[in-house]
């Protein structure tokens, strides 16, 4: 994997430094209006940094703002205050067209409930976002075949996603998210709809992708999934909890336990909105 990824976006060079943060979130605030005229403060001055090549798991109780954080990073929701910078690109204050371009270049998203297009074949589900990302049809189809081979789905290329098992559908969703070689792979409760065997398979896949150099931010309530990450960050009340960061989570200890397990990091109940699937490399990036 190269040390620099360059975007053609006019708002910045798009360079991703070999060292230093690939994602910088500073002072992020986001509120929602309710029918009772009492705003819900989803994010409350959140600061968050991710370095190139990290695998970060974000844990915390339901309602702490985890999906909102992912949506703001992906440019699917606009923060009330704060800055989100991916490489050299500050995504705050951008137009919808600019955000769509930045998503295609920088973001791949994986959702709990897959958000696949059953009317397209397995291969077409990957090739379509690759074409929208700028590849010619033959190059997009070749990229799709490469990813299907990588994720063990080559024999399913012509099938409909509807005939796949849950684990296969999530592997396809991950392949689709990787179609445009994203700077960041964002995953919102990707194992939430799977059984324990499927969850273990998908968690191991994320770890393998990270070993190959992919930067990953994964929201999860499952401590077994979180321990696959190199760092676990805990959120509460719309902010990162100080002192609740577990470094080296996926490094096994002397007796086989992981650092996250040994450190006592536990996640709260499930939380996933499944929002924005078709705007973030979910089914098809915005053209």
Q: What is the pLDDT of residues 156-165, one digit of tens each?
A: 999 999 999 9
Lowest mean pLDDT segment, chosen from 12-26, 40-54, 116-130 = 12-26
CA distance 236 to 19: 29
Residues contacting residue 117 through CB under 8 Å, at least 6 positions apart: 124, 125, 128, 161, 283, 284
Which tens digits make up the pLDDT trace of 79-103? 999 999 999 899 988 999 999 999 9
Whole-model pTM: value is 0.79
CA distance 43 to 77: 12
- Residue 169: helix, strand or coil by DSSP? helix
Which of 25, 113, 125 minimizes the C-alpha distance to 71? 25
Per-residue pLDDT for 271 more than 80? no
Per-residue pLDDT for 267 more than 80? no
Question: How high is the pLDDT of residue 11?
Answer: 43
């Amino acid at each position: 994997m190269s040390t620099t990824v360059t975007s053609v976006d006019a708002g910045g060079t798009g360079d991703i430094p070999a060292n230093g943060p690939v994602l910088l979130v500073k002072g992020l605030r986001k509120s929602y209006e309710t029918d009772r005229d009492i705003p819900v403060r989803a994010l409350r001055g959140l600061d968050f940094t991710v370095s190139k090549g990290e695998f970060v798991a974000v844990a915390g109780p339901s309602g702490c703002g985890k999906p909102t954080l992912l949506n703001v990073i992906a440019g699917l929701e606009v923060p009330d205050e704060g800055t989100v910078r991916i490489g050299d690109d500050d995504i705050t204050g951008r137009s919808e067209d600019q955000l769509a371009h930045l998503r295609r270049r920088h973001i791949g998203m994986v959702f709990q409930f897959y958000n696949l297009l059953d009317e397209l074949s397995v291969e077409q589900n990957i090739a379509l976002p690759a074409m929208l990302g700028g590849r010619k049809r033959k190059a997009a189809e070749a990229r799709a075949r490469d990813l299907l081979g990588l994720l063990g789905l080559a024999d399913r290329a012509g099938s409909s996603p509807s005939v796949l098992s849950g684990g296969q559908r999530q592997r396809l969703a991950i392949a689709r998210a990787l179609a445009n070689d994203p700077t960041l792979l964002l995953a919102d409760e990707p194992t939430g709809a799977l059984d324990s065997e499927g969850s273990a398979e998908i968690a191991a896949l994320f770890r393998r992708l990270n070993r190959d150099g992919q930067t990953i931010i994964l929201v999860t309530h499952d401590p077994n999934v979180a321990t696959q990450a190199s760092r676990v960050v805990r959120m509460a009340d719309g902010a990162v909890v100080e002192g609740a960061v577990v470094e080296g989570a996926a490094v096994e200890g002397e007796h086989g336990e992981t650092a996250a397990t040994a450190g006592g990091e536990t996640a709260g109940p499930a939380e996933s909105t499944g929002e924005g699937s078709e705007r973030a490399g979910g089914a098809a990036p915005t053209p």
